[in-house]
């Protein structure tokens, strides 16, 4: 039996369909990709970093959006593909701009956060990151592990170079240069770390031996800024 031909949509067709759809889908190079639900770890970690960013950004006049805010990356002569996607978290400092009067598709994010999962990590690190680089407004891309305390950031400096840094462990912290914020991993993972299966030292113990999952003492998770 021959495979069914792929259905390609224009951007206008996608938006018209997406705005009426009961579930979210991404658009990449004319194709539609349905978005799957997220795990308990993913939701808890996303909640933690969303809270931390809101606490820092909102008093400074920046906007923080969750995963229902669509982001548009337009095609260019060099990169002839366009993308409509739903980052886990998006930050805008200054006046937000949108693709049309519906104001549901953001075009000028300053910072984007993606919480990684087994099914999306490769895409988030490669194709999606390359597309995000086409956003002139974007100065920082943050990748967050969902089941162990590990966060990475790629910051675009004035020379258009992407500078990498990372932090791990519940006592770790990471500077987000684009918004002048110090992110404390204990605060990000305060809910996730209470879950069975959370790996406080990644896949290894402090002495380098393979990890056997050990619950974290909830009394140690009180965050003190």
Q: Which residues of 185-223 are buried (b: 16+ CB within 10 A; e: fewer)?
A: bbbbbbbbbeeeebbbbeeeeeeeeeeeeeebeeeebee
Closest CA to 154 of 183, 182, 188, 125: 125
H-assigned helices in 58-203: 121-125, 127-132, 185-188
Closest CA to 84 of 39, 21, 145, 160: 21
Q: Is the pLDDT of residue 215 over 50?
A: no
Cα gap 155→178, rounded to integer Å: 7
Model confidence over 5-45: pLDDT tens digits?
Answer: 577 899 999 999 999 999 999 999 999 999 988 899 999 99
Residues in a beta bridge with 71: 85, 106
Cα gap 81→84, rounded to integer Å: 10
Structure confidence at residue 4 (pLDDT): 42
Q: What is the mean pLDDT of the chain?
A: 88
Confidence of residue 115 (pLDDT cuts 50, 70, 90): very high
For the entire predicted model, the pTM comes to 0.87
Structure confidence at residue 5 (pLDDT): 53
Is 39-69+87-221 assigned to CATH 3.90.1570.10?
Answer: yes
Model confidence over 184-197: pLDDT tens digits?
Answer: 999 999 999 999 88
What is the average pLDDT across 129-140?
Answer: 95
Cα gap 150→128, rounded to integer Å: 20
């Amino acid at each position: 039996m021959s495979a069914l031909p792929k259905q390609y949509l224009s951007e206008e067709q996608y938006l018209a369909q997406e705005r009426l759809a009961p579930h979210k889908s991404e658009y990449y190079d004319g194709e539609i990709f349905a978005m799957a639900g997220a795990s308990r770890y993913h939701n808890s970690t996303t909640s933690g970093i969303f809270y931390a960013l809101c606490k820092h950004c909102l008093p400074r006049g920046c906007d923080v959006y969750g995963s229902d805010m669509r982001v548009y990356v337009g095609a260019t002569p060099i990169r002839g593909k366009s993308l409509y996607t739903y980052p886990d978290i998006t930050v805008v400092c200054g006046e937000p701009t949108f693709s049309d009067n519906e104001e549901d598709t953001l075009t000028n994010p300053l910072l984007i956060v993606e919480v990684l999962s087994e099914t999306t990590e490769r895409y988030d690190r490669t194709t999606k990151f390359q597309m995000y680089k086409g956003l002139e407004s974007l100065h920082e891309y943050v990748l967050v592990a969902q089941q162990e305390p590990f966060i990475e950031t790629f910051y675009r400096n004035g020379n258009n170079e992407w500078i990498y840094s990372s932090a791990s462990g519940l006592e770790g912290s990471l500077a987000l240069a684009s918004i002048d914020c110090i992110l404390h991993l204990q605060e990000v993972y305060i809910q996730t770390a209470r879950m069975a299966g959370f790996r406080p030292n990644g896949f290894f113990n402090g002495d380098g031996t393979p990890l056997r999952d050990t619950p974290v003492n909830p009394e140690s998770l009180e965050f003190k800024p």
